[in-house]
Structure 1
């Protein structure tokens, strides 16, 4: 039976981990970096792990963070979102093909060139939905260190490079974002209770990323049917981001610097493949629709929903167009990834068992 000294050490490790994660997230947020609270927490906790410090994130905090994140993601899937998506069928079709192409190209590069496992390469190649992808991959046999590195590096490079490239095309900033919706405490409590139940059900069914996927599904149903319009405040989201970053950072305990360098090189190669493929589909969409190429490149960019939508808005592009395309990609990934993973890897496991018999 675990005694008081063990529990005290675990609590101290968790406090150090989350304190460092919160500080890293705050620094990244002040610097205006993308997905600041997740990536800042991740980088800080990786630093602690590489330094050999004892770090830990309690399981109950992971549970709460995943439910909060899934609930928040589901609030984006409203009837208005689907209505906007229906107004751009050609570019949406090209975007869907782009997502398939970038995932196939990235997976092929990471397995054939970098030597990653198929599961790690699959989750690392998902273009965006950073939090969802990492949470889903955590419940699989994928190497979460590789997945997190590839997702984080791609996001940083996109946000750093894309504005500079498109600025050469004469793009200008403009517009002011609308004020956020404010929900009552009662609305938030009802939403969270329903999504917690959905998360527990999905986890019981052993779905990949069941906690976050179940909460997302519960929230999406409530918002798509207009049974709820509640959104979660930043006071809940920021701690959840910090916990997610810390949970991934813990996986880097015992990782060497040479391994980190290998991850960086592989992730950079996968990023270049993804950008090349998404740009080709943006060119196709521009040719088919006659729309602005810069707008389509930004809409097709394989980065996080919030960062890419805000980036397109800052460049003066139609915010409805930007949000609809990135939400369409996000919704498609959230629904299709666990199904595709279950089909692909369950089939592979069965083939492996048949081969050994």
Structure 2
């Protein structure tokens, strides 16, 4: 299985939650793991990123089109085949930004509990499906690369401290995925400038990926089997719509710009920001590219979801 440190724990903790265990992560543990993941992503970036970045405006436009198409068809599917009311269908179909979606829907009359479960199924399914799709289709190129040069311990400590400070600042500014983005920014700055060399040690990155996978699984803590049965088909349906849109736009865009299809698929797949960025790192794709596009997706949804609720949320 590809990305086992991420996918394995997500499955195990999901099953544990569905069996009745009450599971959650302490906030500080979660934030530290996000810092490590962000720092790990930045260490794999090389100066060639400047050349690649010239093509990013085209892919950023493509992700907006991909998200809009997936959103429209997902809410249509939920209305027509699962008979969701219009507001629940729109909020359940949103390709990401769950906390914002739930806050928006609190006073709308939508079934927020159902929305949360459907969205959780989407995140889990994409975490499991996307790496398999990329690796088993042969799109991952040269596959997994095990780093051989690692940062020395003092630089690891300095990087974590700097990333924590930047992350707290980002959180005050309500930046999405604040600690992952902070780690990536610090790591990019120190590595591209040549101040620090080497990758984050694996004794930090593997536990961080395991924690991230486990956090995805905790979304199902407290969900009953009857609730899961009610939402499972709908969740898988919007997952398939999201994957189809991601693959379609990735293939079309790859005809016009020189970027790997696998990288575009992971960047366009509407999974969790942290999970998709970590997955890019695990699959030896450009994590900076992937993280940038997923953060752009979240910013776009902040403006588009309220409009979608007005346009499509009418019974």
1:154 paired to 2:99: no
Cα distance in 2 between the residues matched to 1:117 and 1:230: 46
Alignment RMSD: 3.8
Alpha-carbon contact 1:285-1:296 (below 8 Å) kept: no
- Summarize the Cα distance change of 1:79–1:261 in structure 2 as closer, same or farther, 3 Å threshold: farther
- The reply on whether 1:113 has 2:77 as its aligned counterpart is yes
> How far apart, CA to CA, are the structure 2 residues paired with 1:36 and 1:224?
29
Residues 121 and 236 in structure 2, CA contact (< 8 A), matched pair in contact too: no
Change (3 A) 1:99 1:175: closer
Match of 2:16 among 48, 56, 63: 48
Any residues of structure 2 matched to 1:125-136 within 5 Å, and which? none
Q: Is the 8 A contact 1:96 1:329 kept in 2?
A: no
Deviations 1:227-266 (CA, angstroms, capped at 9, x unpaired): 4335321211222223223333333222122433454423
Q: How does 1:219-298 map to 2 (within 5 A)?
A: 219-285=187-253, 288=256, 297-298=261-262
- Quote the residue 2:49 is aligned against: 81
Matched residue pairs, number?
281
Pick 1 or 2: higher relative contact order, CA cutoff 8 A, min separation 6. 2
* 1:102 aligned onto 2:54: no
Moved more, 137-146 or 235-244: 137-146
Q: Hey, what's the Cα distance between the residues in 2 that align with 1:141 and 1:237?
A: 31
SS of the aligned residue for 2:48 comes to: helix
Deviates more, 1:137-146 or 1:105-114: 137-146
TM-score computed with the length of structure 1 as normaliser:
0.63
Instruction: Report which of the two structures shows the higher radius of gyration computed on alpha carbons.
Output: 1
Answer whether contact 2:166 2:182 (CA < 8 A) is retained: yes
TM-score when normalising by structure 2: 0.70
Which residue in the other structure is 1:329 paired with? 290
Partners of 2:72 and 2:92 lie apart in 1 by: 11
Contact conserved, 2:7 with 2:127, CA < 8 A, in 1?
A: no
| 1:192 shift after superposition | 0.8
